[in-house]
Amino acid sequence: MEAEKYNLDTNHPPTLFVGRNYIFLPETTSTNATLKSLYAKSSLPEGTVLITSYQTEGRGQAGTTWESEKDTNIMLSVLLYPKFIAVADQFMISKAMALAVHDLVSTLLPDTEVNIKWPNDILVSGKKICGILIENGLKANAIEYCICGIGININQWFEDQTRTSLKTITGVEYDLEYLEKQLFSCIEARYLKLKQNPAAISKDYLDVLYGFGKKSKFRIPITDENFEGTICGINTDGRLMIKTAEGVKIFGLKEVSLIS
């Protein structure tokens, strides 16, 4: 049976800079790594996007890998020059990029719960649909460049309990190129918002943060300790704040996981 195509509004406005310089490689190691080496060799305009159909060494957060079927999902990296963000506030970029993907996915799935799971995973009904890997280049205590790598599961079929894709949810086959352009608009809008009104980005992030304000069970993997608490905020350095009976505890990446 031929899959139905998802029909999107074709009249969305073009972007000012995100995706204006567009590099497509049928295959590469990792779009983040390749964009970083291109940046080191030549001057690239802000908003340059590198897209691929297949990564041989896709990277995830904290040294993990990102695997994605060929020609099936979105895998891209965007180059940004967020000079207006202080190094101490760099997690703001992560919030803005997660919101950009959240905007795209929630528009496509208007009747489904879409959340950001700290730090920047996108979940649909509790299952991961997108991972984001942000790599900032720092120089003289400033952010010289930011490479924002985004992997969104679109047409791959998932049976497992932890991951999902648009097609797994709706049964519809999506046009990758078209969704990529929609994503460029979402990224640009959130990036410009970050420049004008960072407080609004922080508010929007907490509004859709998975588990925010809800009593939940957590686990500390290194000690195998479980505890109860409520996510109550994010530090300026991007660490997760959890209110417990003993006070507010603060965790970095991979130091804690939300069980339920």
- Per CB under 6 A, residues contacting ligand BTN are 30-32, 55, 58-61, 64, 66, 75-77, 121, 131-133, 149-151
* Secondary structure letter of residue 249 according to DSSP: E
CB of 73 to ligand BTN, least distance (A): 8
Which residues have a Cβ under 8 Å from the Cβ of 145 and sit 6 or more positions away?
Answer: 39, 79, 80, 81, 136, 137
Based on its alpha-carbon atoms, the radius of gyration of the chain, rounded to whole angstroms, reads 18
CB of 97 to ligand BTN, least distance (A): 11
Comparison of 75 and 92: residue with beta carbon closer to ligand BTN:
75
CB of 149 to ligand BTN, least distance (A): 3
What is the bridge-based pairing of β-strands 49-52 and 22-25? parallel
Backbone dihedral angles phi then psi of residue 168, each to the nearest 5 degrees: -60, -35
CB of 252 to ligand BTN, least distance (A): 15
Q: What is the largest CA-CA distance in the chain?
A: 57
- Number of Cβ within 10 Å of residue 157's Cβ equals 12
CB of 152 to ligand BTN, least distance (A): 8
Which residues have a Cβ under 8 Å from the Cβ of 83 and sit 6 or more positions away?
Answer: 142, 143
Comparison of 30 and 168: residue with beta carbon closer to ligand BTN:
30
Report how many helices (DSSP H) and strands (DSSP E) the chain contains, helices first: 5, 12
Comparison of 114 and 249: residue with beta carbon closer to ligand BTN:
114
Owner of token pair 């985004």 = 150
Residue nearest to ligand BTN (CB): 131
Comparison of 64 and 244: residue with beta carbon closer to ligand BTN:
64
With contact defined as beta carbons under 8 Å apart, do 209 and 231 qualify? yes
Comparison of 47 and 131: residue with beta carbon closer to ligand BTN:
131
CB of 228 to ligand BTN, least distance (A): 26
What is the bridge-based pairing of β-strands 127-139 and 121-124? antiparallel
Comparison of 131 and 211: residue with beta carbon closer to ligand BTN:
131
With contact defined as beta carbons under 8 Å apart, do 156 and 69 qualify? yes
CB of 2 to ligand BTN, least distance (A): 28
With contact defined as beta carbons under 8 Å apart, do 20 and 5 qualify? no
Comparison of 70 and 215: residue with beta carbon closer to ligand BTN:
70
